[in-house]
Amino acid sequence: MILRIIALLAVVTLAACEAPVVVTAPPAGGPSAVVQSGASEPQSVASFQQIVRRMEPVVERECRIRAPRLNCDFAIQIFENPRLPPNAFQTLDDGGRPVLGFTATLIEDVRNADELAFVLGHEAAHHIAGHLSRQAENATLGAAIFGALAAQTGATADGVASAQELGAAVGARSYSKDFELEADRLGTVLTQLSGYDPLVGAAYFNRIPDPGNRFLGTHPPNAQRIAVVQETAAQF
């Protein structure tokens, strides 16, 4: 049972995300990006590809410096299905290559290049900080603890199994707010190193629904995230 839970969690990504239908990888190479800053400029797949060309070498270099044992060859993918909600996520493909995924609706939803750059920096930071494997460790631990407690109180096999499932979910979420703030911190640095403005970029949080401080919520309140970005950018 624990193994089944772990297998399930291995495919869970750090942000809730629906299954992609069409995947288009941006072409490599091409002219360097023109950085647009601050203003409200609708973003397109073409402008996203400019941001990717500018940020990818920076992010991969920082990954190799900060996490030399990790695969730092990012695959950056756009999920074109217009029915997918605005979202971005980080995961690993079957070969262990880090994938940063963006829905086309997210690209349309942001107001300028800095916001898009900040989201890319944030997702890349999740990989560099090793959040997926740290989350899986917490899930395994949670499943073991909840399962053992249920067994001690005389639960049936089914009762133990559902306790393990609950434990895995609680474990996986127990550090997720910290992970989000950590990714905002490193994402701020990656955005800045790539020549974009993380303070302008983080304004995106002001327009997405604030998760507040719900018990077991996976994301910290938006105001807390903006404060972390401001603090990090000030130190840079």
Nearer to Zn ion, 129 or 150 (CB): 129
Closest distance of CB 88 from Zn ion, Å:
8
Token look-up 């999740």 returns 126
Q: What is the binding site for Zn ion (CB under 5 A)?
A: 180, 183
Closest distance of CB 1 from Zn ion, Å:
29
Closest distance of CB 195 from Zn ion, Å:
22
Nearer to Zn ion, 56 or 182 (CB): 182
Nearer to Zn ion, 112 or 135 (CB): 135
Nearest to 38 by CA among 124, 102, 145, 113: 113
Nearer to Zn ion, 164 or 194 (CB): 194
In angstroms, the CA 138 to CA 147 distance is 14
In angstroms, the CA 220 to CA 188 distance is 16
Amino acid in the structure at residue 229: V
Pairing label, strands 88-92, 75-79: unpaired
Closest distance of CB 218 from Zn ion, Å:
8
What is residue 203's DSSP assignment? G
Closest distance of CB 124 from Zn ion, Å:
10
Nearer to Zn ion, 50 or 87 (CB): 87
Residues 6+ apart with CB under 8 A from 177: 217, 218, 219, 220
Tokens of residue 41, six digits: 């400029």
